[in-house]
Structure 1
Amino acid sequence: MEYLVFLASMSALIYGANRIIEQSEHIALRFGISHFVIGATLIALGTSLPEMATSISASIQGKGEMAVGNVIGSTTFNITLVLGLIFLIAKTITPKRDMFAHDSAWALFPFVLFLLMAYDGAIGFLDGVLFLMMMGAYLLFLNKQETGLAHEEPNCENFSLKQSAFWLLLGFGFVIVGAHFTIDSAALIARNFGVDEWLIALLLIAFGTSLPELIVSIVAAKKGNGDMIVGNIVGSNVANFTVVLGASALFSPLPVNFATHGFDIACAGAASVMLVFLTANRLYNASAGIGLLAIFALMLISGLGQFLA
């Protein structure tokens, strides 16, 4: 039964992601907003809702370690698996925006702040407030970046804001519900095999909550929309550390055990550093994809090693 639920949930994710991409492009064209900003805000926050729901639920239930594991796993999955696969399967990814000049700090700084906040072994209430304030700063930064930029005014005679809003909300609904049941079914299958909570969060739940980013990026790649792909990944990772961890820490402290899970955290850091390196050199190609997938493989091998130990 769990396997049928998993397949049905995946179908819902794919359908919802198609609706999100379609309507987000319409909105971007109608209001002259860049595809990067749409990907880094509207889509990134929407596809991060599964992480938020899962981590907040874990925090409320006193399972803060699962909340942290979900964020660390999702960050690594988003950069290594999602971008790695996109770079391999897409013919060309050529973002118009200079990602390194504008966004490299946002790709790395949230992770660095996480390390500083977790140095004492936990993410507390005040840390959570600071994280949420950082998300506000990120949104203000993006708004300032857009101000004064000239955008081509397309023909939008048939555009309907109400219709687009309806399909956009429907898409988010399918993504959220699909991710929810994907997580539940995957976690149930994992527990039947005796996998501990950190590994469930780091691998299976993180994979499930990263599916929206993966599906959205694949659809965007087919449309040749490189700005939306990278914007979605950068924005999702900012949201993971700021909104997801920040909101979860408001309910209860989130323990961080560097001694036990240091390698997994290091993989997330290596992925973040590599994202900055790739944007600096504009390496959006298959070779970069292989490098990213190598980091993913290291984390996966480490996780499997913990499971078999």
Structure 2
Amino acid sequence: MDYIIFLVAMAALIYGADFIIKESERIALHFNISHFVIGATLVAFGTSLPEMAASMMASSHGKSDMAVANVVGSVIFNITMVLGIVFMFAKSMNPNRDLFSKDSAWVIVPVLIFYIMIQDGVIGRVDGVIFLLLMTSYLIFLFKSSREDLEGEIDTSLAKQFNWLKTVALLSVGFILTIGGANFVVESGTNIARSLEVSEWVIGLFLISLGTSLPELVVSLVAVKKGNAEMGIGNIIGSNVANFSMVLGASSLINPLLVDLASTKFDILIMVSASLALLFILANKLYNRAGGIFLLIILALFIQNSFA
């Protein structure tokens, strides 16, 4: 029964996030915001809502391992699986924005801050406030650096269909599905972990984080298919920043999050490696199959060594 509840709850998470993503995009386009900013803010935050809801619920239940593993796993899957698949199947990606010079710091800085914070084995409330301030600085940076991206980029197709009443209603449904689904995902995930005699870290790292990364995969593929490469890549960069700053920040404010450095060392190393690989791809503009294969190799090593 727990397996059925887990799958239904995960579907609720994803569908809820989908409602939030679509309506957030309508609002953004209604106010003439560029594709990269949409991808890196509203869409990124929308696709990070499942992670945020799951980690905050896990934290409120005192399940630190599940809360932190969800973020670590999501960052790994966002970069290696989502971008790996996008680069493999996208026919051509030529972002107008210079992603390396403008956004590379936001790929690695949150990872470094996270690594420094966990050296004492806990992400406390002060750390959570620092993460939330990081999110604030990211938003300020985005809107200041992306003004030049606005010209000639706005798609008014969604804006013409804009309806405040419908948008607010669908956003409300999305939040209800996301929050409710998160509660059942954590509870059923914990029961599955106990029945399989595996740790809550493993459940968070694979089952929950893989499931909550599906919105990023769908949104990025659709964005690239429509020729919005900036939105696809911006979604992942923004989602990873949000995972560290908003998800861990909010979760640690509820309860300090304990981290077992000895048992999580390999997974954190993979997360750092994936972030460095993304930096390399941005620097060399490897938005193609070569970049995709590079990332999927890291994913394969992660899965193989984790289960080995």
Q: TM-score, normalised by structure 1?
A: 0.86
Supply the AA of the counterpart residue of 2:107. Answer: A
Q: Pairwise mapping of residues 162-201 of structure 1 onto structure 2 (< 5 A)?
A: 162-171=165-174, 173-174=176-177, 177=180, 181=184, 185=188, 188-201=191-204
* Whole-angstrom distance in 1 between the partners of 2:184 and 2:26: 29
Q: Distance in 1 between matches of 2:155 and 2:203?
A: 46
> Partner residue of 2:225?
222
* Structure 2 partner of 1:91: 91
Q: Distance in 2 between matches of 1:19 and 1:249?
A: 27
Provide the C-alpha distance between the structure 1 equivalents of 2:162 and 2:258, rounded to a whole number of angstroms: 48
The whole-number CA distance in structure 2 between the counterparts of 1:179 and 1:219 is 25
Give the number of equivalent residue pairs: 305
C-alpha separation between the residues in 2 aligned to 1:12 and 1:61?
Answer: 20
Moved more, 167-176 or 123-132: 167-176
DSSP 3-state at the match of 1:48: helix
1:71 match = 71
Aligned match of 1:267: 270
Tell me the SS of whatever aligns to 1:106. helix
State the shift of 1:29 in Å: 3.4
Deviates more, 1:27-36 or 1:149-158: 149-158
- Structure 1 position 15, deviation (Å): 4.9
Show the counterpart of 1:130. Answer: 130
Output the amino acid matched with 1:144.
K
Equivalent residue, structure 2, for 1:284: 287
Cα distance, 1:23 vs structure 2 = 4.0
Unaligned stretches of 5+ residues in structure 2: none
Does the 8 A contact of 2:34 with 2:150 survive in 1? no
Alpha-carbon shift at residue 93 of structure 1 (Å) = 3.0
Matches of 2:184 and 2:289, distance apart in 1: 32
Any conservation in 2 of the 1:66–1:197 contact (CA below 8 Å)?
Answer: yes
User: Structure 1 residues 73 and 154, CA, compared in 2 at 3 Å: closer, same or farther?
Assistant: closer
Stretch of structure 1 that moved more, 25-34 or 92-101: 25-34
Selected match of 1:204 from 207, 216, 219 = 207
Instruction: After TM superposition, give the deviation of residue 2 of structure 1 in Å.
Output: 4.4
Please state whether the residue corresponding to 1:280 is helix, strand or coil: helix
1:46 counterpart residue number: 46
Partner of 1:145: 145
**Coordinate RMSD, CA, aligned:** 2.7
Deviation, structure 1 residue 33: 0.7
Q: 1:212 deviation in Å?
A: 2.0
1:236 positional shift = 0.9
| Alpha-carbon offset, residue 286 of structure 1 | 1.7
C-alpha change, 1:34 and 1:115, in structure 2 (3 Å) is same
Deviation, structure 1 residue 230: 1.0
Seen in structure 2, the aligned counterparts of structure 1 residues 100 and 114 have a Cα distance that, compared at 3 Å, is same
Preserved contact between residue 39 and residue 231 of structure 1 (Cα < 8 Å)? yes
Contact 1:271 1:292 in 2 (8 A): yes
Q: Is the CA contact 1:93–1:285 (under 8 Å) kept in the aligned structure 2?
A: yes
Moved more, 5-14 or 128-137: 5-14
- The 1:290–1:195 alpha-carbon spacing in structure 2 relative to 1, beyond 3 Å, is same
State the percentage of identical aligned residues.
52
